[in-house]
Structure 1
Amino acid sequence: MSGINNHPYPLRTVQVTRYVTPLREGGSLPALTEADDGFLYVLKFRGAGQGVKALIAELIGGETARALGLKVPEIVFATLDQDYGRNEGDEEIQDLLKSSVGLNLALHYLSGAITYDPVVTTIDENLASKIVWLDCLLTNVDRTVRNTNMLMWHQELWLIDHGASLYFHHSWDNWEEQATRPFAKIKDHVLLPQATQIAAVDSAFRAILTPERIRAIVDLVPEEWLTGHEDISPAERREVYAQFLIRRVASSEIFVKEAVYARSTLI
């Protein structure tokens, strides 16, 4: 079954065969597509918005969440050929497809899933604490009441859309400093009010996210997504991602303290 929570590395690669419909969320214009394996996927285009950086954040963020036992739709690499979307009538979408030829990223489509609504569904304190810890680690600014980026599917909570994570990579100048900073924006996290066990979660998650596990996740990033930077090689750029996360885990007490403080101001 596709869409399950765990899968062996490496990630699968599918060929996109049909553009079903755009999902006009924010400025990234993801789309519901069908692939050659017969499944539907939410496709994230390399030619949209922040380009491959959003795909890198999506990949690292999603697979880190999966490594921690959280539910994430299966992530696959999705290839677009030059003929794909040639008959698309929408000029904006056609331009997006043309600029996204090659390797993109996609998440298994959870048919029938509904957006998590904190008014309707209460998440238990342990799960809320795990997600808050994850988003502190990833510096994910996009899990708020306005945009929860979580789905309820078969009465379980699934995490989606990690493309706004790792925002240090939009400016590489001081990544070492950013790796050990508290995450002040956690105060806006939709699950912070329920996250009473962040300190307990910290100990368990630090044990899971060893440097070896982090490097295995970062190694999933295709080299072609790391090219095009004259100042640093793809290997060096990959190492920065790994070192950022390794250092952040090692100094997690800093962001845990910030999250606990932020929650105390709510109650």
Structure 2
Amino acid sequence: MDYPSNPDVRLLGGKFTDGNPLTDTPPSWIPADWMNAMSDEVIEVIQGLGGLVPAEEDRTQLRQAIDHAIATRLLGRSMGMTMITATTTFVPGDHGISETIPLIVSLWGAGGGASSLSGGAGGAGGAGGWAMATVMASEVVVTVGSGGDGLEDGDFGLSGGTTSWGSLFAATGGQGGRLGGGAPGGPTGAYDLGLIGGAGDDLVIGDGSQPIARGGAAPFLGLGGPVSVDAPLGAGGSVLLIPPNSNQAGDGGAGLALVFWPK
């Protein structure tokens, strides 16, 4: 797949343009055959990798197909695996593998803690991001982010820590809760696949219709945590309104690293 080569499309710098009447720049024309090719490419992935029936109203099928392909390739052969939940040095020999073996490494950043602000307002923490890369086995420091503390009495929640594979790639932590909820973390560095975590909910009070702000969901790992209890791995902390005007703020979940290798 590539941008159309037909000069009648009127690309600007190799990209589509909306045009600019002030500079007499005409807008691009998008030909039907190019749009059909774009659709066919995406549908081929949805059907071929995901085994799904294309559905016009479902805008998650491309992601589902990629997730399915990753899981199938991992489960279709004998794999070794280790889970890393605290900062450590990964040494291939400790796992019986050599430095000529490729590793599939998945990282999750830690979730942000929830916040309780003055007057009973507050927000839930954002979830950490997810990043995956294929790397060659080597001795490397794996940093696992700590979940952010949930804070009460007018403070923003603390942000979750970043989980990293040496200096190669990382998944950043979610922002601590605040008015509007905490922003999520995301992938960074030389990753192959990555996803942004879920944002934390805003805690809205006044009519009692939203007494709980749920922490952001970590990619593949689940929803924000129960109120006043540490959130699941990578998820943002949640906050509960306690009438008339106070909250309980939960901590964000810690980060995580999963390492797979072929046997």
TM-score range relative to shorter protein = under 0.3
Give the TM-score, by structure 2 length. 0.21
Q: Which has the larger radius of gyration?
A: 2
Structure number with higher helix proportion: 1
Bigger fraction of residues in strand: 2
